[in-house]
A and B are shown apart, each in its own frame.
Chain A
Amino acid sequence: MNDRPLFEYTLGLADDALVSAQRMGWWISRAPELEEDVAMANIGLDQVGQARSLLTYAGELEGEGRTEDDLAYLRDDREFRNVKLVERPMTDFGVAMARLLMFSTYQLHLYRALSAGSDATLSGIAAKAVKEVAYHVDHATHWVLRLGDGTDESHTRMQAALDAEWPYVDELFGSRAPSLAGRVVDPAELRDPALTDVRRVVGEATLTVPEVPTALGGGRQGLHTEHLGFLLAEMQHLHRSHPGATW
Protein backbone atom coordinates (compact mmCIF):
# COMPACT_ATOMS: atom_id res chain seq x y z
CA MET A 1 0.00 0.00 0.00
CA ASN A 2 1.30 3.45 -0.79
CA ASP A 3 -1.15 6.17 0.10
CA ARG A 4 0.95 9.27 0.67
CA PRO A 5 -1.81 11.79 1.53
CA LEU A 6 -3.46 9.47 4.04
CA PHE A 7 -0.02 8.52 5.42
CA GLU A 8 0.74 12.21 6.09
CA TYR A 9 -2.68 12.78 7.64
CA THR A 10 -2.39 9.75 9.90
CA LEU A 11 1.15 10.68 10.84
CA GLY A 12 -0.08 14.11 11.94
CA LEU A 13 -2.59 12.56 14.32
CA ALA A 14 -0.03 10.03 15.57
CA ASP A 15 2.65 12.64 16.21
CA ASP A 16 0.19 14.90 18.05
CA ALA A 17 -0.60 12.03 20.40
CA LEU A 18 3.01 10.90 20.80
CA VAL A 19 4.51 14.31 21.50
CA SER A 20 1.68 15.18 23.86
CA ALA A 21 2.25 11.88 25.72
CA GLN A 22 5.94 12.66 26.02
CA ARG A 23 5.09 15.97 27.72
CA MET A 24 2.42 14.32 29.89
CA GLY A 25 4.86 11.66 31.09
CA TRP A 26 7.05 14.37 32.59
CA TRP A 27 4.37 15.05 35.18
CA ILE A 28 4.42 11.56 36.67
CA SER A 29 5.96 12.14 40.15
CA ARG A 30 5.68 15.93 39.70
CA ALA A 31 1.91 16.52 39.83
CA PRO A 32 0.30 18.75 42.48
CA GLU A 33 -1.55 15.79 44.08
CA LEU A 34 -1.01 12.05 44.13
CA GLU A 35 -4.39 11.56 42.43
CA GLU A 36 -3.15 13.82 39.67
CA ASP A 37 0.01 11.73 39.17
CA VAL A 38 -2.35 8.84 38.49
CA ALA A 39 -4.59 10.89 36.19
CA MET A 40 -1.78 12.37 34.13
CA ALA A 41 -0.12 8.98 33.77
CA ASN A 42 -3.46 7.65 32.60
CA ILE A 43 -3.93 10.39 30.02
CA GLY A 44 -0.36 10.01 28.79
CA LEU A 45 -0.85 6.25 28.51
CA ASP A 46 -4.01 6.71 26.45
CA GLN A 47 -2.09 9.02 24.14
CA VAL A 48 0.82 6.58 23.76
CA GLY A 49 -1.73 3.91 22.89
CA GLN A 50 -3.32 6.12 20.24
CA ALA A 51 0.11 7.01 18.85
CA ARG A 52 1.09 3.34 18.59
CA SER A 53 -2.03 2.36 16.65
CA LEU A 54 -1.80 5.37 14.39
CA LEU A 55 1.93 4.97 13.70
CA THR A 56 1.46 1.29 12.89
CA TYR A 57 -1.28 2.21 10.44
CA ALA A 58 0.83 5.03 8.99
CA GLY A 59 3.60 2.50 8.38
CA GLU A 60 1.16 0.28 6.47
CA LEU A 61 -0.10 3.21 4.42
CA GLU A 62 3.45 4.15 3.51
CA GLY A 63 4.21 0.62 2.41
CA GLU A 64 7.93 0.68 3.18
CA GLY A 65 7.86 -1.67 6.13
CA ARG A 66 8.40 0.93 8.84
CA THR A 67 7.14 -0.07 12.29
CA GLU A 68 5.73 2.14 15.03
CA ASP A 69 9.20 2.34 16.61
CA ASP A 70 10.93 3.12 13.31
CA LEU A 71 8.57 6.04 12.88
CA ALA A 72 8.78 7.21 16.50
CA TYR A 73 12.51 6.85 17.01
CA LEU A 74 14.19 7.18 13.66
CA ARG A 75 12.69 10.33 12.21
CA ASP A 76 14.24 13.76 12.77
CA ASP A 77 12.22 16.77 13.85
CA ARG A 78 11.74 18.02 10.28
CA GLU A 79 9.88 14.78 9.55
CA PHE A 80 7.49 15.09 12.50
CA ARG A 81 3.99 16.24 11.60
CA ASN A 82 2.54 17.27 14.99
CA VAL A 83 1.15 20.72 15.70
CA LYS A 84 3.31 23.10 17.72
CA LEU A 85 0.76 23.27 20.56
CA VAL A 86 1.76 19.85 21.91
CA GLU A 87 5.53 20.29 21.72
CA ARG A 88 5.83 23.49 23.72
CA PRO A 89 7.42 23.18 27.16
CA MET A 90 5.01 22.39 29.96
CA THR A 91 6.22 22.98 33.49
CA ASP A 92 3.16 24.79 34.84
CA PHE A 93 0.03 22.87 35.75
CA GLY A 94 -2.21 25.66 34.43
CA VAL A 95 -0.50 25.44 31.05
CA ALA A 96 -0.87 21.67 31.10
CA MET A 97 -4.62 21.92 31.68
CA ALA A 98 -5.16 24.79 29.22
CA ARG A 99 -3.42 22.78 26.55
CA LEU A 100 -5.19 19.56 27.44
CA LEU A 101 -8.55 21.32 27.23
CA MET A 102 -7.81 22.64 23.74
CA PHE A 103 -6.12 19.52 22.44
CA SER A 104 -8.52 16.95 23.84
CA THR A 105 -11.59 18.93 22.75
CA TYR A 106 -10.15 18.99 19.23
CA GLN A 107 -9.37 15.27 19.44
CA LEU A 108 -12.86 14.48 20.69
CA HIS A 109 -14.50 16.11 17.68
CA LEU A 110 -11.91 14.63 15.34
CA TYR A 111 -12.14 11.07 16.60
CA ARG A 112 -15.93 11.21 16.70
CA ALA A 113 -15.99 12.15 13.03
CA LEU A 114 -13.31 9.61 12.10
CA SER A 115 -15.10 6.83 13.94
CA ALA A 116 -18.05 7.36 11.58
CA GLY A 117 -15.77 7.75 8.55
CA SER A 118 -15.13 5.49 5.59
CA ASP A 119 -11.61 4.32 6.43
CA ALA A 120 -12.14 1.17 8.45
CA THR A 121 -8.82 1.23 10.30
CA LEU A 122 -8.99 4.88 11.28
CA SER A 123 -12.60 4.37 12.24
CA GLY A 124 -11.66 1.52 14.59
CA ILE A 125 -8.77 3.41 16.19
CA ALA A 126 -10.96 6.49 16.60
CA ALA A 127 -13.86 4.58 18.11
CA LYS A 128 -11.60 3.36 20.91
CA ALA A 129 -9.84 6.71 21.34
CA VAL A 130 -13.04 8.73 21.52
CA LYS A 131 -13.92 7.13 24.87
CA GLU A 132 -10.49 7.92 26.27
CA VAL A 133 -10.48 11.47 25.01
CA ALA A 134 -13.94 12.18 26.46
CA TYR A 135 -12.36 11.56 29.85
CA HIS A 136 -9.42 13.84 29.03
CA VAL A 137 -11.85 16.64 28.14
CA ASP A 138 -13.74 16.07 31.36
CA HIS A 139 -10.56 16.11 33.41
CA ALA A 140 -9.20 19.27 31.79
CA THR A 141 -12.59 20.99 32.06
CA HIS A 142 -12.78 20.37 35.79
CA TRP A 143 -9.29 21.74 36.36
CA VAL A 144 -9.82 24.82 34.20
CA LEU A 145 -12.97 25.53 36.23
CA ARG A 146 -11.21 25.01 39.55
CA LEU A 147 -8.20 27.08 38.61
CA GLY A 148 -10.13 29.83 36.84
CA ASP A 149 -12.69 30.15 39.62
CA GLY A 150 -10.42 29.20 42.54
CA THR A 151 -8.12 31.76 44.15
CA ASP A 152 -6.90 35.10 42.78
CA GLU A 153 -3.52 33.55 42.11
CA SER A 154 -4.95 30.55 40.28
CA HIS A 155 -7.23 32.79 38.22
CA THR A 156 -4.26 34.93 37.15
CA ARG A 157 -2.13 31.90 36.35
CA MET A 158 -4.90 30.13 34.44
CA GLN A 159 -5.59 33.23 32.37
CA ALA A 160 -1.87 33.60 31.63
CA ALA A 161 -1.76 29.97 30.55
CA LEU A 162 -4.72 30.44 28.19
CA ASP A 163 -3.14 33.59 26.75
CA ALA A 164 0.13 31.76 26.14
CA GLU A 165 -1.44 28.70 24.47
CA TRP A 166 -4.26 30.31 22.53
CA PRO A 167 -2.12 31.46 19.56
CA TYR A 168 -1.35 27.79 18.86
CA VAL A 169 -4.94 26.57 18.79
CA ASP A 170 -5.56 27.61 15.22
CA GLU A 171 -3.06 25.13 13.81
CA LEU A 172 -5.19 22.21 15.05
CA PHE A 173 -7.82 23.15 12.49
CA GLY A 174 -5.67 23.30 9.39
CA SER A 175 -7.27 21.77 6.28
CA ARG A 176 -6.44 18.25 5.20
CA ALA A 177 -5.07 17.66 1.70
CA PRO A 178 -7.76 18.27 -0.97
CA SER A 179 -7.21 14.77 -2.34
CA LEU A 180 -8.54 13.32 0.92
CA ALA A 181 -11.96 14.91 0.44
CA GLY A 182 -14.66 12.40 1.27
CA ARG A 183 -12.21 9.98 2.89
CA VAL A 184 -11.39 11.64 6.22
CA VAL A 185 -12.79 14.50 8.23
CA ASP A 186 -11.40 17.93 7.48
CA PRO A 187 -10.16 19.49 10.76
CA ALA A 188 -11.18 22.90 9.38
CA GLU A 189 -14.80 21.78 9.77
CA LEU A 190 -14.21 21.09 13.46
CA ARG A 191 -13.06 24.60 14.28
CA ASP A 192 -16.46 26.07 15.18
CA PRO A 193 -17.91 23.20 17.20
CA ALA A 194 -14.65 22.54 19.08
CA LEU A 195 -13.94 26.18 19.86
CA THR A 196 -17.53 26.68 20.98
CA ASP A 197 -16.96 23.93 23.56
CA VAL A 198 -13.67 25.44 24.72
CA ARG A 199 -15.14 28.96 24.95
CA ARG A 200 -18.02 27.68 27.08
CA VAL A 201 -15.59 26.20 29.63
CA VAL A 202 -13.44 29.33 29.60
CA GLY A 203 -16.48 31.51 30.29
CA GLU A 204 -17.79 29.26 33.03
CA ALA A 205 -14.35 29.37 34.64
CA THR A 206 -14.70 33.21 34.85
CA LEU A 207 -11.82 33.52 32.39
CA THR A 208 -11.61 35.54 29.18
CA VAL A 209 -11.11 34.10 25.72
CA PRO A 210 -7.78 35.63 24.70
CA GLU A 211 -7.72 38.09 21.87
CA VAL A 212 -4.24 37.36 20.66
CA PRO A 213 -2.78 36.97 17.20
CA THR A 214 -2.44 33.49 15.79
CA ALA A 215 1.04 32.02 15.84
CA LEU A 216 2.59 30.81 12.61
CA GLY A 217 1.76 27.19 11.90
CA GLY A 218 3.94 24.80 10.00
CA GLY A 219 4.04 21.78 12.28
CA ARG A 220 2.14 19.64 9.76
CA GLN A 221 4.88 20.50 7.24
CA GLY A 222 7.67 19.71 9.69
CA LEU A 223 8.45 23.30 10.67
CA HIS A 224 8.57 23.18 14.45
CA THR A 225 9.62 25.21 17.44
CA GLU A 226 13.15 24.82 18.80
CA HIS A 227 11.71 22.74 21.63
CA LEU A 228 10.90 19.67 19.54
CA GLY A 229 14.56 18.93 18.82
CA PHE A 230 15.32 18.58 22.53
CA LEU A 231 12.20 16.52 23.17
CA LEU A 232 13.16 14.09 20.41
CA ALA A 233 16.83 14.01 21.41
CA GLU A 234 15.79 12.78 24.83
CA MET A 235 13.13 10.40 23.57
CA GLN A 236 15.23 8.85 20.80
CA HIS A 237 18.78 8.73 22.13
CA LEU A 238 18.77 5.27 23.70
CA HIS A 239 16.99 3.64 20.79
CA ARG A 240 19.38 5.27 18.30
CA SER A 241 22.45 4.39 20.35
CA HIS A 242 21.86 0.70 19.63
CA PRO A 243 20.99 0.41 15.94
CA GLY A 244 18.98 -2.69 15.15
CA ALA A 245 18.68 -3.82 18.78
CA THR A 246 15.46 -5.35 20.13
CA TRP A 247 14.08 -4.04 23.42
Chain B
Amino acid sequence: MYGNDFGSDQAADQHVPAPDEQAFAALLADEGRVEPRDDMPGAYRKSLVRQIAQHAHSEIIGMQPEGNWISRAPSLRRKAILMAKVQDEAGHGLYLYAAAETLGVDRADLVDQLHSGRQKYSSIFNYPTLTWADVGAIGWLVDGAAITNQVPLCRCSYGPYARAMVRVCKEESFHQRQGFEILHTLSHGTSEQKAMAQDAVNRYWWPSLMMFGPPDDDSPNSAQSMAWGIKRFSNDELRQRFVDMTVPQSEALGLTLPDPDLRWNEERAHYEYGAIDFTELFEVIKGNGPCNAERMAHKRRAHAEGAWVREAADAYAAKQARRTESVA
Protein backbone atom coordinates (compact mmCIF):
# COMPACT_ATOMS: atom_id res chain seq x y z
CA MET B 1 0.00 0.00 0.00
CA TYR B 2 2.51 2.52 -1.15
CA GLY B 3 4.89 1.16 1.42
CA ASN B 4 2.32 -0.24 3.78
CA ASP B 5 1.06 -3.76 3.52
CA PHE B 6 -2.07 -5.47 4.65
CA GLY B 7 -2.64 -8.30 2.24
CA SER B 8 -4.10 -11.65 3.17
CA ASP B 9 -1.75 -14.47 2.21
CA GLN B 10 1.11 -13.62 4.53
CA ALA B 11 0.13 -15.97 7.32
CA ALA B 12 -0.04 -19.01 5.03
CA ASP B 13 3.56 -20.17 5.24
CA GLN B 14 5.15 -18.13 7.94
CA HIS B 15 6.20 -21.30 9.72
CA VAL B 16 8.41 -22.58 6.90
CA PRO B 17 11.75 -23.02 8.68
CA ALA B 18 14.73 -21.00 7.51
CA PRO B 19 17.91 -22.88 6.70
CA ASP B 20 19.37 -21.36 9.85
CA GLU B 21 16.55 -19.84 11.80
CA GLN B 22 18.66 -18.93 14.78
CA ALA B 23 21.24 -17.03 12.77
CA PHE B 24 18.44 -15.13 11.02
CA ALA B 25 16.75 -14.29 14.32
CA ALA B 26 20.09 -13.13 15.72
CA LEU B 27 20.70 -10.92 12.70
CA LEU B 28 17.31 -9.27 13.13
CA ALA B 29 17.79 -8.89 16.87
CA ASP B 30 21.08 -7.17 16.12
CA GLU B 31 19.34 -4.74 13.72
CA GLY B 32 21.49 -6.17 10.95
CA ARG B 33 20.60 -6.00 7.28
CA VAL B 34 19.52 -9.04 5.31
CA GLU B 35 21.18 -9.08 1.91
CA PRO B 36 20.11 -11.00 -1.24
CA ARG B 37 22.58 -13.88 -0.79
CA ASP B 38 21.82 -14.37 2.89
CA ASP B 39 19.70 -17.24 4.16
CA MET B 40 16.21 -16.10 4.97
CA PRO B 41 12.96 -17.83 5.84
CA GLY B 42 10.74 -18.58 2.88
CA ALA B 43 7.87 -16.67 4.42
CA TYR B 44 10.07 -13.59 4.95
CA ARG B 45 11.11 -13.70 1.30
CA LYS B 46 7.55 -14.20 0.11
CA SER B 47 6.19 -11.43 2.27
CA LEU B 48 8.86 -9.01 1.04
CA VAL B 49 8.29 -9.91 -2.60
CA ARG B 50 4.61 -9.18 -2.17
CA GLN B 51 5.14 -5.91 -0.34
CA ILE B 52 7.84 -4.60 -2.67
CA ALA B 53 5.88 -5.65 -5.77
CA GLN B 54 2.75 -4.00 -4.42
CA HIS B 55 4.77 -0.87 -3.71
CA ALA B 56 6.22 -0.91 -7.24
CA HIS B 57 2.77 -1.45 -8.79
CA SER B 58 1.47 1.50 -6.76
CA GLU B 59 4.15 3.78 -8.18
CA ILE B 60 3.22 2.69 -11.70
CA ILE B 61 -0.55 2.91 -11.35
CA GLY B 62 -0.03 6.18 -9.47
CA MET B 63 1.32 7.68 -12.70
CA GLN B 64 -2.21 7.68 -14.14
CA PRO B 65 -4.18 10.04 -11.87
CA GLU B 66 -1.46 12.68 -12.05
CA GLY B 67 -0.62 11.96 -15.68
CA ASN B 68 -4.26 12.85 -16.29
CA TRP B 69 -3.33 16.54 -15.83
CA ILE B 70 -0.06 16.76 -17.77
CA SER B 71 -1.81 17.86 -20.96
CA ARG B 72 -3.90 20.47 -19.09
CA ALA B 73 -1.44 21.86 -16.54
CA PRO B 74 -2.30 25.56 -16.23
CA SER B 75 1.20 26.97 -16.77
CA LEU B 76 4.31 25.71 -18.53
CA ARG B 77 6.19 25.72 -15.23
CA ARG B 78 3.53 23.46 -13.68
CA LYS B 79 3.54 21.24 -16.75
CA ALA B 80 7.31 20.74 -16.49
CA ILE B 81 7.14 20.01 -12.75
CA LEU B 82 4.30 17.54 -13.19
CA MET B 83 6.06 15.70 -16.02
CA ALA B 84 9.17 15.44 -13.87
CA LYS B 85 7.13 14.16 -10.95
CA VAL B 86 5.33 11.47 -12.92
CA GLN B 87 8.69 10.52 -14.42
CA ASP B 88 10.02 10.13 -10.86
CA GLU B 89 7.17 7.73 -10.07
CA ALA B 90 8.17 5.58 -13.05
CA GLY B 91 11.74 5.68 -11.74
CA HIS B 92 10.56 4.58 -8.28
CA GLY B 93 8.76 1.68 -9.92
CA LEU B 94 12.00 0.70 -11.63
CA TYR B 95 14.07 0.74 -8.41
CA LEU B 96 11.42 -1.24 -6.60
CA TYR B 97 11.05 -3.90 -9.28
CA ALA B 98 14.84 -4.18 -9.23
CA ALA B 99 14.77 -4.57 -5.43
CA ALA B 100 12.13 -7.31 -5.78
CA GLU B 101 14.26 -9.08 -8.39
CA THR B 102 17.06 -9.45 -5.83
CA LEU B 103 14.67 -11.89 -4.12
CA GLY B 104 14.66 -14.19 -7.14
CA VAL B 105 11.51 -13.06 -8.92
CA ASP B 106 11.15 -11.60 -12.38
CA ARG B 107 9.70 -8.15 -13.10
CA ALA B 108 7.67 -9.47 -16.04
CA ASP B 109 6.01 -12.04 -13.75
CA LEU B 110 5.18 -9.38 -11.18
CA VAL B 111 3.66 -7.18 -13.86
CA ASP B 112 1.61 -10.16 -15.09
CA GLN B 113 0.36 -10.67 -11.55
CA LEU B 114 -0.72 -7.03 -11.41
CA HIS B 115 -2.50 -7.37 -14.75
CA SER B 116 -4.31 -10.52 -13.69
CA GLY B 117 -5.36 -8.97 -10.39
CA ARG B 118 -3.35 -11.38 -8.22
CA GLN B 119 -1.25 -8.52 -6.87
CA LYS B 120 -2.63 -5.21 -5.70
CA TYR B 121 -1.62 -1.57 -5.71
CA SER B 122 -2.49 1.23 -3.33
CA SER B 123 -6.21 1.90 -3.26
CA ILE B 124 -5.66 5.64 -3.18
CA PHE B 125 -5.04 5.58 -6.93
CA ASN B 126 -8.56 4.34 -7.55
CA TYR B 127 -9.83 7.83 -6.81
CA PRO B 128 -10.22 10.23 -9.74
CA THR B 129 -8.32 13.51 -10.24
CA LEU B 130 -11.25 15.73 -11.12
CA THR B 131 -9.60 19.15 -10.97
CA TRP B 132 -6.12 20.64 -11.13
CA ALA B 133 -6.21 21.05 -7.35
CA ASP B 134 -6.29 17.26 -7.03
CA VAL B 135 -2.71 17.24 -8.31
CA GLY B 136 -1.85 19.47 -5.35
CA ALA B 137 -3.86 17.34 -2.92
CA ILE B 138 -2.15 14.16 -4.11
CA GLY B 139 1.26 15.74 -3.66
CA TRP B 140 0.49 17.15 -0.24
CA LEU B 141 -1.69 14.42 1.30
CA VAL B 142 -1.01 11.22 -0.63
CA ASP B 143 2.73 11.74 -0.96
CA GLY B 144 2.75 13.05 2.63
CA ALA B 145 1.14 9.81 3.82
CA ALA B 146 3.49 7.80 1.62
CA ILE B 147 6.52 9.49 3.16
CA THR B 148 5.21 8.80 6.65
CA ASN B 149 5.03 5.13 5.69
CA GLN B 150 8.29 5.04 3.82
CA VAL B 151 10.71 6.88 6.07
CA PRO B 152 10.71 3.97 8.55
CA LEU B 153 11.20 1.60 5.61
CA CYS B 154 14.64 3.17 5.09
CA ARG B 155 15.52 1.08 8.18
CA CYS B 156 13.77 -2.04 6.90
CA SER B 157 15.68 -5.26 7.59
CA TYR B 158 16.00 -6.08 3.89
CA GLY B 159 18.96 -4.10 2.51
CA PRO B 160 17.95 -3.53 -1.12
CA TYR B 161 14.46 -2.34 -0.14
CA ALA B 162 15.82 -0.06 2.58
CA ARG B 163 18.36 1.50 0.22
CA ALA B 164 15.77 2.01 -2.53
CA MET B 165 13.63 3.80 0.05
CA VAL B 166 16.35 6.30 0.90
CA ARG B 167 16.32 7.66 -2.62
CA VAL B 168 12.56 7.35 -3.05
CA CYS B 169 11.96 9.31 0.16
CA LYS B 170 14.16 12.19 -0.97
CA GLU B 171 12.13 12.53 -4.15
CA GLU B 172 8.80 12.04 -2.38
CA SER B 173 9.64 14.81 0.01
CA PHE B 174 10.14 17.13 -2.96
CA HIS B 175 6.81 15.92 -4.35
CA GLN B 176 5.06 16.67 -1.11
CA ARG B 177 6.42 20.21 -1.07
CA GLN B 178 5.32 20.79 -4.67
CA GLY B 179 1.81 19.60 -3.78
CA PHE B 180 1.74 21.95 -0.81
CA GLU B 181 2.93 24.78 -3.02
CA ILE B 182 0.21 24.12 -5.63
CA LEU B 183 -2.44 24.27 -2.91
CA HIS B 184 -0.85 27.32 -1.29
CA THR B 185 -0.95 29.16 -4.59
CA LEU B 186 -4.57 28.15 -5.18
CA SER B 187 -5.72 29.00 -1.67
CA HIS B 188 -4.17 32.47 -2.03
CA GLY B 189 -5.57 32.94 -5.53
CA THR B 190 -9.07 33.73 -6.78
CA SER B 191 -12.15 32.56 -4.89
CA GLU B 192 -12.69 29.87 -7.56
CA GLN B 193 -9.14 28.62 -7.08
CA LYS B 194 -9.50 28.52 -3.32
CA ALA B 195 -12.78 26.60 -3.63
CA MET B 196 -11.07 24.16 -5.99
CA ALA B 197 -8.30 23.58 -3.44
CA GLN B 198 -10.74 23.08 -0.56
CA ASP B 199 -12.83 20.65 -2.59
CA ALA B 200 -9.77 18.58 -3.45
CA VAL B 201 -8.67 18.42 0.19
CA ASN B 202 -12.20 17.46 1.23
CA ARG B 203 -12.17 14.54 -1.18
CA TYR B 204 -8.62 13.31 -0.53
CA TRP B 205 -8.41 13.65 3.27
CA TRP B 206 -10.19 10.45 4.32
CA PRO B 207 -8.74 8.26 1.58
CA SER B 208 -5.28 9.50 2.65
CA LEU B 209 -5.91 8.40 6.24
CA MET B 210 -6.96 5.01 4.91
CA MET B 211 -3.59 4.61 3.17
CA PHE B 212 -2.19 3.48 6.52
CA GLY B 213 -4.40 0.42 6.48
CA PRO B 214 -6.91 -0.94 8.97
CA PRO B 215 -6.74 -0.13 12.69
CA ASP B 216 -4.11 -2.07 14.66
CA ASP B 217 -6.62 -4.43 16.26
CA ASP B 218 -7.78 -5.44 12.79
CA SER B 219 -4.39 -5.81 11.11
CA PRO B 220 -3.42 -9.46 11.49
CA ASN B 221 -0.13 -9.35 9.58
CA SER B 222 1.41 -6.34 11.25
CA ALA B 223 2.90 -8.26 14.18
CA GLN B 224 4.82 -10.64 11.92
CA SER B 225 6.07 -7.78 9.74
CA MET B 226 7.27 -5.95 12.82
CA ALA B 227 8.99 -9.06 14.17
CA TRP B 228 10.82 -9.34 10.86
CA GLY B 229 11.98 -5.75 11.01
CA ILE B 230 10.10 -4.86 7.82
CA LYS B 231 7.52 -2.72 9.53
CA ARG B 232 8.74 -0.46 12.32
CA PHE B 233 5.54 1.24 13.51
CA SER B 234 1.92 0.16 13.62
CA ASN B 235 -0.72 1.43 11.20
CA ASP B 236 -2.33 3.60 13.87
CA GLU B 237 1.01 5.03 15.02
CA LEU B 238 1.86 6.06 11.48
CA ARG B 239 -1.62 7.46 10.89
CA GLN B 240 -1.34 9.55 14.06
CA ARG B 241 2.08 10.81 13.00
CA PHE B 242 0.62 11.86 9.63
CA VAL B 243 -2.34 13.66 11.22
CA ASP B 244 -0.06 15.48 13.66
CA MET B 245 2.18 16.61 10.82
CA THR B 246 -0.63 17.60 8.47
CA VAL B 247 -3.01 19.61 10.65
CA PRO B 248 -0.59 22.52 11.18
CA GLN B 249 0.20 22.46 7.47
CA SER B 250 -3.51 22.78 6.64
CA GLU B 251 -3.61 25.87 8.86
CA ALA B 252 -0.65 27.33 6.99
CA LEU B 253 -2.51 26.66 3.75
CA GLY B 254 -5.65 28.36 5.01
CA LEU B 255 -7.67 25.24 4.20
CA THR B 256 -9.82 23.14 6.51
CA LEU B 257 -9.83 19.37 6.94
CA PRO B 258 -13.25 17.73 6.61
CA ASP B 259 -13.45 16.26 10.12
CA PRO B 260 -15.61 17.98 12.77
CA ASP B 261 -14.00 15.82 15.48
CA LEU B 262 -10.46 16.94 14.72
CA ARG B 263 -8.98 18.61 17.81
CA TRP B 264 -5.74 18.93 19.74
CA ASN B 265 -5.56 16.75 22.84
CA GLU B 266 -3.28 18.51 25.28
CA GLU B 267 -2.90 15.48 27.50
CA ARG B 268 -1.94 13.05 24.74
CA ALA B 269 -0.06 15.76 22.81
CA HIS B 270 -1.69 14.49 19.63
CA TYR B 271 -4.57 15.50 17.39
CA GLU B 272 -7.71 13.44 17.81
CA TYR B 273 -9.59 12.62 14.66
CA GLY B 274 -13.03 11.20 13.86
CA ALA B 275 -13.90 7.61 13.06
CA ILE B 276 -12.69 6.40 9.69
CA ASP B 277 -15.22 4.59 7.50
CA PHE B 278 -13.17 1.53 6.64
CA THR B 279 -16.02 -0.09 4.77
CA GLU B 280 -15.13 2.30 1.95
CA LEU B 281 -11.49 1.19 1.99
CA PHE B 282 -12.46 -2.47 1.79
CA GLU B 283 -14.92 -1.78 -1.03
CA VAL B 284 -12.17 0.00 -2.99
CA ILE B 285 -9.73 -2.85 -2.31
CA LYS B 286 -12.35 -5.31 -3.55
CA GLY B 287 -12.44 -3.43 -6.84
CA ASN B 288 -15.46 -1.22 -6.30
CA GLY B 289 -13.68 2.13 -6.12
CA PRO B 290 -14.41 4.93 -8.57
CA CYS B 291 -11.53 4.15 -10.94
CA ASN B 292 -10.40 0.53 -10.35
CA ALA B 293 -11.62 -0.65 -13.73
CA GLU B 294 -10.19 2.33 -15.63
CA ARG B 295 -6.76 2.12 -13.98
CA MET B 296 -6.37 -1.55 -14.79
CA ALA B 297 -7.78 -1.19 -18.30
CA HIS B 298 -5.35 1.66 -19.02
CA LYS B 299 -2.39 -0.38 -17.76
CA ARG B 300 -3.37 -3.56 -19.60
CA ARG B 301 -4.06 -1.66 -22.81
CA ALA B 302 -0.67 0.11 -22.76
CA HIS B 303 1.05 -3.21 -22.12
CA ALA B 304 -0.84 -4.99 -24.90
CA GLU B 305 -0.30 -2.17 -27.38
CA GLY B 306 3.43 -2.19 -26.62
CA ALA B 307 3.84 -5.95 -27.12
CA TRP B 308 5.01 -5.61 -30.74
CA VAL B 309 7.64 -3.09 -29.65
CA ARG B 310 9.02 -5.33 -26.91
CA GLU B 311 9.05 -8.32 -29.28
CA ALA B 312 10.92 -6.27 -31.87
CA ALA B 313 13.50 -5.18 -29.29
CA ASP B 314 14.08 -8.82 -28.28
CA ALA B 315 14.34 -9.95 -31.91
CA TYR B 316 16.76 -7.15 -32.74
CA ALA B 317 18.91 -7.93 -29.69
CA ALA B 318 19.04 -11.60 -30.71
CA LYS B 319 20.05 -10.64 -34.26
CA GLN B 320 22.74 -8.33 -32.96
CA ALA B 321 24.08 -11.07 -30.69
CA ARG B 322 24.28 -13.48 -33.62
CA ARG B 323 26.03 -10.85 -35.73
CA THR B 324 28.58 -10.19 -33.00
CA GLU B 325 29.13 -13.94 -32.67
CA SER B 326 29.67 -14.47 -36.38
CA VAL B 327 32.14 -11.57 -36.48
CA ALA B 328 34.03 -13.07 -33.55
Contact = CB atoms under 8 A, between A and B. Distances in A.
Interface of A: 18, 21-22, 25-26, 28-38, 41-42, 44-45, 48-49, 51-52, 55, 68-69, 72-73, 93-94, 145-147, 149-151, 153-154, 157, 234-235, 237-239, 242, 244-247
Contacts of B78: 247
Contact of B75 (A38, A154, A239): A239
B75 A28 contact: no
Contact of A93 (B303, B306, B317): B306
A51 to B, nearest CB: 7
Contacts of B311: 150-151, 153-154
Main secondary structure of the interface of A (DSSP, over half): helix
A247 B182 CA distance: 7
A68 B308 CA distance: 39
Contacts of A21: 79
A52 B302 contact: no
Nearest to A147: B312
Interface residues of B, number: 47
Contact of B76 (A29, A36, A52, A245): A52
A132 B214 CA distance: 47
Contacts of A93: 305-306, 309
B200 to A, nearest CB: 14
Contacts of A36: 306, 309
Contacts of B79: 21, 25, 48
Interface in B284-319: 298, 302-303, 305-317, 319
Contacts of B243: none
Contact of A30 (B80, B192, B302): B302
Contacts of A242: 74, 190, 192-193
B189 A245 contact: yes
A9 B185 CA distance: 34
Most buried by B among A18, A49, A238: A238
A24 B77 CA distance: 16
A182 B296 CA distance: 55
A146 B132 CA distance: 38
Given A41-B90, A48-B83, A242-B190, A147 B309 contact: yes
A28 B83 contact: yes
B90 A38 contact: yes
Contacts of B25: none
Nearest to B65: A29
B90 A34 contact: yes
Nearest to B318: A150
Nearest to A18: B76
A147 B306 CA distance: 12
Tell me what chain B mostly uses at the interface: helix, strand, loop, or mixed. Answer: helix
Contacts of A153: 308, 311-312
A32 B75 contact: no
Interface of B: 60, 63-64, 67, 70-80, 83-84, 86-87, 90-91, 93-94, 97, 132, 185, 189-190, 192-193, 298, 302-303, 305-317, 319
B100 to A, nearest CB: 13
A146 B312 contact: yes
Contacts of A52: 76-77, 80
A28 B67 contact: yes
A145 B316 contact: yes
A42 B308 CA distance: 23
B71 A26 contact: yes
Contacts of A22: 71
A36 B94 CA distance: 11
A14 B203 CA distance: 38
A244 to B, nearest CB: 8
Contacts of A238: 72-74, 132
A235 B189 CA distance: 21
A150 B190 contact: no
9 contacts: A22-B71, A25-B70, A29-B60, A33-B313, A37-B90, A41-B83, A52-B76, A150-B311, A235-B71
A32 B83 contact: no
A33 B91 contact: no
Given A31-B306, A147-B309, A150-B311, A247 B74 contact: yes
Given A93-B306, A147-B316, A246-B185, 14 more contacts: A28-B63, A28-B67, A30-B302, A31-B302, A32-B303, A34-B60, A41-B86, A52-B76, A55-B76, A150-B311, A242-B190, A245-B192, A246-B189, A247-B77
